Amino acid sequence: MRRFSIALLAAVTLSGALSAVPAQAHDRHPPLGIDHCTATACHFDVPPGTYDVRVTLGGEAASSTSIGGETRRSLLPETAVDAGERVTRSFTVNVRTPEGEPTGPDGTPGLDLTLGGSAPALAGIRVTPARHARQIILIGDSTVCDQPGDPYSGWGQQLPQYLRRGLSVANYADSGESTVTYLQNPQLWATVQPLIRPGDLVLVQLAHNDKTTDEATYRANLETLVAGIRDRGGEPVLVTPIVRRWFNADGTLNNNTALLVNGLGVDHPAVIRSVAAAEKVPLIDLTAKTKALVESLGVEGSKALYLYNEKRDNTHTSVHGATVYAGLVRDELLAQHLVPEGRVRVG
């Protein structure tokens, strides 16, 4: 049986208001006390917004705790604490409706956290509105989104665990979307664009579903997204798509299926690179990085990154694969100085 201890639940306050908090919510106070955490979860009755979470981990026995939240997001990697010791960790979490994919169900109101790890021990927790958090907004498809069900996971779902307090991930990726549908659906671009604040990073990875989009339209759609992000004062970052795990006989991925060249001959990664250069937009070449990694692991070793064993799926990633790919994104955010080193977990 897993060991779990709750020594203290610190006050959860909502003094002041976030810009995303409705006016009628200003007089609401979230419940206080130990009764709002169980051995496996915590629930805080807070309105949509961005919140800083400070946790104290540890107990009488050695412990190892991870924290997830909302729609299966990884918020804090598993953290080991020696017996009798305490450590404090902080992160910032985005609370929104719908809480997962933008076209999905609303989910449960408030902030829900789940406690995991081999021996979870929560000694204290404090949740407060985030005053100066910077958003990393994600625009993408099913390889990026907050996937609702196991064994699927998008890399955007795993990215929050690599970030410290002051950086939140607002994942507006949605399954099945192309550049065409993302711009057309009022639940997507028309909803997301007004949420962009000056200084926010907006990562765009759309390609997997642009199977019938011609090159001129694809390029124009990317340019529209870049211009719209900049109109709001945000900083666009173009991301080439993760590869499909589709090997040639020689063990390479040098084929149209793996490298996202559609039936019209549109080389999506090449167009993204071209638009990034023309528009002077930072580029995360996830196609190149995932290609190199998958080829290095080989036919057998790369299966665990995707859902091949579970679903014979060579496009969508497992939790493990999404975590590895989120790490590649984290590395590029640091290498290109797009986020401060002090806001990112490494190692």
Identify the structural domains of the chain with CATH numbers, from first to last. Answer: 40-131 (2.60.120.430), 133-346 (3.40.50.1110)
Identify the pLDDT of residue 1.
33
What confidence score (pLDDT) does residue 39 get?
A: 84
Can you give the pLDDT at residue 22?
Answer: 38
Q: What is the pLDDT of residue 52?
A: 94
For residue 132, the model assigns a pLDDT of 87
Among 113, 94, 105, residue whose Cα is nearest residue 44: 113
**Virtual torsion, Cα 267, 268, 273, 277, nearest 10 deg:** 100
Q: Give this prediction's pTM.
A: 0.91
Predicted local distance difference test score (pLDDT) of residue 333: 98
What is the pLDDT at residue 28? 53
Residues of the chain with pLDDT under 50: 1-27, 30-33
DSSP 318: -
Amino acid, single-letter form, for residue 86? R
Instruction: Give the closest residue to 143 by CA, choosing from 286, 42, 270.
Output: 286
Q: Please, what is the Cα angle at 216 between 212 and 222, to 5 degrees? A: 90
What integer pLDDT is reported at residue 16 of this predicted model?
A: 33
Token representation of residue 135: 């958003």
Predicted local confidence at residue 83, as pLDDT: 98
Contact 206, 189 (CB under 8 A): no
Residues 183 and 191: beta-carbon distance below 8 Å:
no
Position 34 scores a pLDDT of: 58
Query: Distance between CA 54 and CA 289 in Å, rounded?
Result: 33
Say if residue 151 is preceded by a cis peptide, omega within 30 of 0.
yes
pLDDT of residue 347: 72
pLDDT of residue 17: 32
Contacts of 194 (CB under 8 A, 6+ apart): 232
